[in-house]
Amino acid sequence: MNPDSRLRIGVTLQGVEPPDIFQRQIESVEAGGYDNLWITDSSLHARYVYSYLTLAAVKSRHLKLGTGITHPYTRHPAVTANAIATVDEISGGRAILGLGTGDRPNAELGFAPARMQALRDMVAVTRRLLNGETVDFSGDFKLVNAQIHFPCRSSIPIYLACSGPKMLSLAGEIADGVIAQCGLFPAAIDFARERIEEGARKAGRSPRDVDLWIMACGAIDETPGKGIDKCRTMAAWFAQTAKHCCDLAGIDPALVNAIREAYRGGEFHQAKDAARLVPDEMVELFTLGGTPDRIQTRVQELIAQGVQAINFMPIGSERTRSLELFSQVGAALR
């Protein structure tokens, strides 16, 4: 946990906008008081993550900048270590390496989600490379007398993005921080904390040493109902990809199965048929969708549960407006 008691807010952006619009988004994010900016590594579904992180580094002064998230298979882990060290140097020490197992955008490249052991190995090898060591390694990837040949900040934080119990426990064991995407209701927050604590204690660490961010995708709109409607596809993603979270929420298994059967597409916004089956109550359990007043109430509820850091990912066609409105919510509650 971060000792700073104020609410911290971050944002995840996908590089779907062209560079000129993206740069304006960066200016808006920094002016809006956000603490962290994460850029997705979406394979062929969006523009290249490290190019956009570089743009963000030169267009901002205070934002911490991270991959949100990258994975072991689409590029060699040592190349990723080099890339994040370069972004860190360009940004003056503001980089964070966000890692995960990967999701559907990897499938068209022929990759399944990464094994947990591959993530464990990637974290260990990355820390050694950033520390200036020469590394030999053989596993899901190989290194032979490998070394980064320029000075690096050895303490670049490594965060894991997690939904499942095993990944949350692994994050508690080896990561500097966690981006937990399990839902926005009390049982989901408790589930994430308990699994992280389990892993931390296994490694002889204090759970307070693991910086927990709650992932909240959403759409904020002044017109009642519009924000909720824009979030139905994301709520459907939970039924398809993180069914255990639906079990935690007590959602009718028949509804979950119907959503899964209707789910199509490589990314959540393509799952329009499944989204039609998602009721408002399910949207509220898993996303931040609604009017600014409703979102402020939802964030206050999260703060009351002890949440100190929320990572917001705007979805829908009016993402920039959602960013602006969420920054206003965050400012009002700090």
Report the CATH number of the 8-224+288-333 domain. 3.20.20.30
Task: Name the nearest CA neighbour of 158 among 136, 130, 189.
Answer: 130
Domain segments of the chain: what residues? 8-224+288-333, 232-286
Cβ contact 117:107 at 8 Å: no
Q: Which residues are within 8 A (CB) of 320 and not within 5 positions of it... i.e. 6 or more apart?
A: 24, 25, 28, 314
pLDDT given for residue 1 in this prediction: 46
Distance CA 11, CA 228 (A): 19
| Closest CA relative to residue 34, chosen from 323, 287, 333 | 323
Written as one string, the DSSP assignment of 162-214 is E-SHHHHHHHHHH-SEEEE-S-SSHHHHHHHHHHHHHHHHHTT--GGGSEEEE
> Taking a C-beta distance cutoff of 8 angstroms, is the pair 98, 85 a contact?
no
Residue appearing with tokens 């049982």: 187
For residues 309 and 9, what is the distance between their CA atoms, to the nearest angstrom? 6
Task: Tell me which H or E stretch contains 43.
Answer: none
Q: Which pLDDT tens digits describe the chain residue by residue (334 residues)?
A: 444 568 999 999 999 999 999 999 999 999 999 999 999 998 888 999 999 999 999 999 999 999 999 999 989 999 999 999 999 999 999 999 999 998 766 777 888 889 999 999 999 999 999 999 999 999 999 999 999 999 999 999 999 999 999 999 999 999 999 999 999 999 999 999 999 999 999 999 999 999 999 999 999 999 999 999 999 999 999 999 999 999 999 999 999 999 999 998 766 667 889 999 999 999 999 999 999 999 999 999 999 999 999 999 999 889 989 999 999 999 998 8
| CA–CA distance, 321 with 319 (Å, rounded to integer) | 5
